[in-house]
Amino acid sequence: MREIVNDILSLVHLKGIIHREDVINVYNEHHHDALTKERLDRLTPRLRDELDSHYVEVTEDYFMNASLATEKLREQLLNEQQQYPSFIPSKELLRTYKNPLACEQSEAFQNLSYYISERASESKKEEIEDVIDTIQLLCEMKTDRDDIVNESLQAIKQLAMTIDESELRMLILALEKETQKWAFNGRSRQSLDHFKRTEENLEQEKVVQVAPERVSKAREEFFKTNKKVGRNEPCPCGSGKKYKKCCIS
């Protein structure tokens, strides 16, 4: 039962909301003892108190962060998540998200915390922690970078400290880039960008590979005309690559 609780907490911290079927799939991916819907339904009443203590609410279909109290917020997040690929981290990586403060181990978080702490009055220690927590939560829950930066700067200004706004903006955006977002299905912007680039590269390779006869014919017909092609111009064979990296040889 302990491993089931750990997986639920980790998934909710990572994604904000998780369907019961997804909990079952993730658990069975990582553990040898099978978790069925019937078993999870039987255990849920015994899990409620501990999940409640970690601000995790339970409904008929979902486990979710308590901040998603209204149906409107839940539906909005679920709709956003549908736009992005599902993300199931390894067992070892998933376990790190059992601790909701795991983000504090990142270099970007430490850099921002140090910048603020060094410039704010020591008498405002609690306020500093609240502001940093607010910025981290903004990075997790929002996707618009301008909104994140502007709301973060407003929170920081409450500390009445001297700041370099451009430098702070860079620190906030660095944290935002590597923060796992609920709306991105648990991915960070950085990992999502990498995923998209990989998909685009695979698609480009597919386009080139699916019609080798077309590429060969286009190349042959073009060079019959004796036209000259610049090294940095698109290759006439239609591959989408620059001439110097394709048919120049």
- DSSP code, position 149: H
Statement to judge: residues 241 and 155 lie in one domain: no
pLDDT the model gives residue 7: 94
Q: What's the structural domain count of the chain?
A: 3
Q: Which two tokens stand for residue 57?
A: 């609410």
Q: Rounded distance, CA 242 to CA 247, Å? A: 9
pLDDT the model gives residue 210: 44
pLDDT the model gives residue 206: 47
Whether pTM > 0.85 for this model: the answer is: no
pLDDT the model gives residue 208: 45
Q: Residue 28: which CATH number?
A: 3.90.1150
Statement to judge: residues 227 and 243 lie in one domain: yes
pLDDT the model gives residue 241: 64
Statement to judge: residues 80 and 134 lie in one domain: no
pLDDT the model gives residue 221: 55
Domain holding 235, by residue range, is 211-249
Statement to judge: residues 135 and 51 lie in one domain: no
One-letter amino acid at 25 equals N
Profile the chain (249 residues) by mean pLDDT over runs of 10 residues.
Answer: 92 92 93 92 92 91 89 91 83 82 75 90 87 89 92 91 90 92 88 69 48 52 56 63 64
Q: Give a yes or no: residue 229 inside a domain.
A: yes
- DSSP code, position 235: P
| Alpha-carbon distance values, 52 to 5, 56, 215 (Å) | 11, 5, 61
Statement to judge: residues 115 and 79 lie in one domain: no
Q: Rounded distance, CA 220 to CA 177, Å? A: 46
Statement to judge: residues 63 and 112 lie in one domain: no
Q: Give a yes or no: residue 89 inside a domain.
A: yes
| Closest CA relative to residue 135, chosen from 123, 120, 149 | 149
| Closest CA relative to residue 116, chosen from 33, 124, 223 | 124
Statement to judge: residues 73 and 13 lie in one domain: yes
Written as one string, the DSSP assignment of 64-86 is EETT--SHHHHHHHHHHHTTS--
Residue 209: CA count within 13 A, CB half-sphere: 6
**For residues 175 and 148, is the Cβ–Cβ distance under 8 A?**
no
Q: Give a yes or no: residue 193 inside a domain.
A: no
Instruction: Tell me the residue ranges of DSSP E strands in the chain.
Output: 17-19, 56-58, 62-65
**CA 127 from chain center: how many Å?**
28
Q: Rounded distance, CA 226 to CA 121, Å? A: 74
Statement to judge: residues 173 and 139 lie in one domain: yes
